[in-house]
Structure 1
Amino acid sequence: MSNLSNKINILGGKLRELHRSFPAGEKTTAIHLFGIKYSDEMLDLTRADLDKVSEAAGLKPIYGLELRKMIKLGKYVMPK
């Protein structure tokens, strides 16, 4: 397994855990929090890579777009 594939799978696992821990109605918030929290680790990933992170988490690949937005926001905010 390549380093990139390994990174995608690890991040996907972390996203899956966080997503599952949030109550219904706040699942998208979990995705946003993840994108901010792990923004530094995902800076070098392409949009296609972020789609794969979403898929590795068991989510629709379109959530890669949300991750990209939160990575950009991660420069300006910190989780509580």
Structure 2
Amino acid sequence: MEKKFGEILSEMYRRAPEGDKVTFIHLFGIRYAEDIKKNNLSIKRILEYSTVKPSFSTEVNKGVKLAKYVSIKS
């Protein structure tokens, strides 16, 4: 399952507008926080399957934590 989310993260990062790359990493964490927590997925493993640098695990974690306080606009 981490591979699937790694691919999603890679695609979101690739499609992010210039200057918003880190924001889209946060958005990934927000959007998929419930799946990540419910399935006890490793963010480190997700990043290993993605094209995003492993050092961005902190940014994914921020998004996961923000998920309970924000909602995504369509």
TM-score range, shorter chain: 0.7 to 0.9
Aligned residue type for 1:29:
T
Extract unaligned runs of 5+ from structure 1: 1-6
Equivalent residue, structure 1, for 2:25: 31
Point out 4+ residue stretches in structure 1 off by more than 6 angstroms: none
User: TM-score under structure 1 normalisation?
Assistant: 0.80
TM-score (norm 2): 0.85
The total of aligned residue pairs comes to 71
Q: Percent identity, aligned pairs only?
A: 38
Gaps of 5+ in 2: none
Give CA deviations for 1:42-78 in whole Å, capped at 9, x if unaligned. Answer: 1123xxx212212211111121121112111101111
* Corresponding residue number in structure 1 for 2:35: 41
